[in-house]
Structure 1
């Protein structure tokens, strides 16, 4: 299946999830992730502020911040690359490009993700064999993941059925080392 058709299929499946299912999935994903010692010890975490039917990260970002981690969130630039800024609580966000909430703190630059001890990214699907993630098609997170060191845990948050064996890839696609679904954590590499 090509990327466009797979994206359509996955977005349709996400659209069929009820608000109750989305909340339950978010809770399971957040608890699974927060139970990992390497997550608990991460001092600087790059994450994202979820939108729509993405696995919800608002509670995760807040929990990481309350437990003492410095959390940086992306700021989408005009060229679709990601700048980063520090999250300092729920009152420090404002709508950015496309209405996506982003921190109002000073921008840290596209290379700020290099300093993260943990990187959590969105994905529509991840290939369980290779760790290649399928995003929305803008390449923003592929560029960000390209800046992350080889030993830094990179994690994609998914709904059930999105960890697959058939995710198409191209040379620019980047992989993640872990995927978290409501069923649990999967090490990919």
Structure 2
């Protein structure tokens, strides 16, 4: 469904998503937020990244490593990201500055996660590369208490997604029409 969305709808969803997310107490109080730059038809994240930066929030962005783990760098504005091709399979927008290491994410108060869907239990369906599964495991090992928030379109909040033993529920999902919290996570 995402691939059929007009560019204007993607931009508008990004603006609405940013408004909803910025009203969340977790983001209002967060000093460091791990986020990502949307690609393709994902809900646009630049409006949210810019609003967080304008609030003085330290924003971390991922950089994909050869083993599918994620390193992190700081977002300081649109000029601080560059398009990076990964093996001809995909292109991502990654931080162009200094790398902080995979453990930098453990300092985040909130981790914004990409996904394809989230269900009524708060289980997130990712793209299958395992990058964010590693991030979530790293947070757990470090005893980090980051709030986990998925950014999706309204139609991507579904009754159930497949889950494996290592999957962990998120705390909330933000869509253009609102925020849904998952109390058991």
Structure 2 equivalent of residue 7 of structure 1: none
Q: CA separation in 1, counterparts of 2:162 and 2:99?
A: 33
Three-state SS of the structure 2 residue aligned to 1:169 is coil
* 1:124 matched to 2:116: yes
**CA offset digits 1:142-175 (Å, max 9, x no partner):** 1112222563211000111111112011112232
* 1:177 matched to 2:168: no
Structure 2 equivalent of residue 95 of structure 1: 83
Asked if structure 1 preserves the Cα contact closer than 8 Å seen for 2:14 and 2:46, the reply is no
Q: CA separation in 2, counterparts of 1:89 and 1:177?
A: 27
* 1:188 matched to 2:179: no
Three-state SS of the structure 2 residue aligned to 1:168 is coil
Which of 139, 164, 178 is residue 158 of structure 2 equivalent to?
164
Query: Alignment length, in residue pairs?
Result: 176
TM-score (norm 1): 0.88
* 1:107 matched to 2:99: yes
- Is 56-65 or 141-150 further displaced after alignment? 141-150
Q: CA separation in 1, counterparts of 2:6 and 2:169?
A: 29
Q: CA separation in 2, counterparts of 1:38 and 1:166?
A: 25
Written as runs of structure 1 = structure 2, the 5 A alignment for 1:28-67 is 28-67=16-55
Q: CA separation in 1, counterparts of 2:170 and 2:179?
A: 12
Gaps of 5+ in 1: 1-12
**CA offset digits 1:41-84 (Å, max 9, x no partner):** 21111000100011110111111111100100000000000111
Q: CA separation in 2, counterparts of 1:36 and 1:30?
A: 10
* 1:142 matched to 2:133: yes
Gaps of 5+ in 2: none
Q: CA separation in 2, counterparts of 1:19 and 1:92?
A: 23
Written as runs of structure 1 = structure 2, the 5 A alignment for 1:62-73 is 62-73=50-61
Q: CA separation in 2, counterparts of 1:60 and 1:16?
A: 23
Three-state SS of the structure 1 residue aligned to 2:68 is coil
Deviating above 3 A after TM superposition, structure 1's stretches of 4 or more consecutive aligned residues are: none
